A and B are shown apart, each in its own frame.
Chain A
Amino acid sequence: MEPGDAKLGYFRSNLTWLYWALVAALALSILIALGQGRYEIDFYSVSLILLENIATVSESWKPVDERIVELIRLPRIIVAGIAGAGLAVAGAALQGIFKNPLVGPQIIGVSSGAAFGGAFAILVSESQVLLVSLAFVFGLLAIALVYIVSRQNGRASILMLVLSGIVISAFFSALVSLTKFVADPDDKLPAIVFWLMGSFASASYEKVSLIGLPVVFGIVVIYLLRFQLNVLSLGDEQAQSLGLEVEKIRWIVLAAIALVSAAVVAAAGVIGWVGLVIPHFSRMLCGPDHKVLIPVSALVGAIYLIHVDTVARTISPAEIPVGIITALIGAPIFAYLLRKASDKGWSAE
């Protein structure tokens, strides 16, 4: 292998090193993020506050510091990390299934479907479980519709796929607007609008479990199917001739993707572009083999979203929705990738 090969992954031959570096970067990101905010706490105190949970440390900080770190910032950072990991893994799996490095949960319509499910749940009930359930059901429905609409003669061209994604997204966006239109403007409407914008501001330990269980479950399912994903990423015909149960495995992976995306949407609203950009970047680090791509994407995604969220809550006195920042970063990168890959992945096949 030639050194520094982007297609194979720059660090493919140093995977252990890459994992440790990413784990260290994640730990460091969490510590930095815990100290940042309108009320700044120095790095040393943050480390001691966390250390106090597992060891005896003499208290050299104010009680308010501990409350901010452990009750306000930590759950928020955990939710952001889980969301980042989930979206990145969902994106990596989607790109594998559709054998195209340029698709993501948003392009494929799952985010809009989940958004409608969530908005509708807020309209009719207060239940968080219903919110996750409906986000999941409609996320999966959107993915299924895109899948059905885009297929001609048993295969989906990438162009058809993206266009179908636009159509289905537009349809569900209209349903979201309809939901807003009929919502009570004093009570339900602000709740829906605020939720849709995408933010980790409402994070709590309750939300950690709400998002954590489905996302971790989805990631584990996708990781267990890492070899099957490799085969599936060759395309239907090759996968079928290699004796893979193509339809069955694809639906299991799609369901896992919908579950992960829906849980993230339910907890933090629509956060776009993470699932598109992070797997692409991760592939440059570790190569396309899903055995490494899935864990690396999860780590990179978590690190990325923790930092984005830190910026979102510190850059101005009023908090900026995370979705805005990920789009501002993601859209130009996507445009660049699009131009770079226009000769390959986007042809009619």
Chain B
Amino acid sequence: MITVTNASLKYDNRFIFRDLRFTLPTGKIGAILGSNGRGKTSLLKAIVGLQKLSGGSIQATGSIGYVAQKTEITFSYTVLDIVVMGRAPHVKMFRVPSVEDYEIARKTLIDLRLDHLVDRPYSRLSGGERQLVMIARALASGCRILVLDEPTSALDLANQLVIFQSLQKVAKKSGLTVLMTTHAPQQVSLMCDYVLLMHNAEESEWGEVDSTLNAENLERLYGIPMREVKVSETEKTFVPLISTTEI
């Protein structure tokens, strides 16, 4: 569970966001939507502990794993080397990962169907594979909460689906709580339980996806016309109505 209470962040006396409040229950998937510069990444970093808040507090039950938007790694470590680094919180100072730590890393890779990449250098992976390896590294830490910053922003549609299906699978299987930022409302409507809409510094909306995510809210969020589209009997999605003739 993640509980954010009156969280505020200020840069140069200007509020990025103010008095944010929401609770994401255990085992649920939450999404944060908002235009660029709304402070989505800062909020995630504050939850992870990489960013100080100007006010308010954040409580998380259980350890948090973090996957950044894009992860550059200078040295060419192999996938297994990198995933085992997820065990860092369990490795004492002056010690190295145990046989069990390596087993956990391998098992996580198998769970995400990445076992064929074990010995490959990270630098040789595709964008989708890298993102999955980063998710594996976070999961290998044994975290109960997974926080992801735009996990699919650099990926093609097929790879976006792979990431989301993997996330949904592990969330269901192990009761993981997932919170992510995204620019894709259509994905939120299909896979998330809760959504935070960051309209501006003062106003935001949190609620269950079914009741909170609608075309009207999204139009307000992005300032462009949106339309609701039915995917199946039970599922709906949203598409922007962008036309060059209107511009």
Contact = CB atoms under 8 A, between A and B. Distances in A.
Interface of A: 1, 5, 7-8, 96, 99-101, 224-228, 230-231, 233-235, 237-245, 248-249, 283, 287-289, 291, 344-345
Q: 9 shortest A-B CB distances, which residue pairs?
A: A243-B89, A288-B75, A7-B76, A241-B66, A224-B94, A227-B96, A242-B88, A99-B74, A231-B85
B50 interface: yes
Nearest to B88: A242
Given A99-B74, A233-B75, A243-B141, A226 B81 contact: no
A242 B119 CA distance: 21
A237 B94 CA distance: 21
Interface in B58-98: 63, 65-66, 68, 71-78, 81, 85-86, 88-89, 91, 93-97
Contacts of B91: 227-228
Given A231-B85, A231-B88, A241-B66, A8 B73 contact: no
Nearest to A244: B88
Nearest to B64: A241
Contacts of A224: 94
Nearest to A2: B124
B75 A245 contact: no
Contacts of B77: 230, 287-289
B121 interface: yes
B236 interface: no
A72 B123 CA distance: 49
Contacts of A244: 88
B46 interface: no
B120 interface: yes
A242 B85 contact: yes
Contact of A237 (B50, B120, B121): B50
B48 interface: yes
B214 to A, nearest CB: 34
A71 B109 CA distance: 57
Contacts of B123: 7
Given A242-B88, A245-B93, 13 more contacts: A5-B121, A8-B76, A96-B75, A230-B77, A230-B81, A231-B85, A234-B85, A242-B86, A242-B137, A243-B88, A243-B141, A288-B75, A288-B77
B46 to A, nearest CB: 12
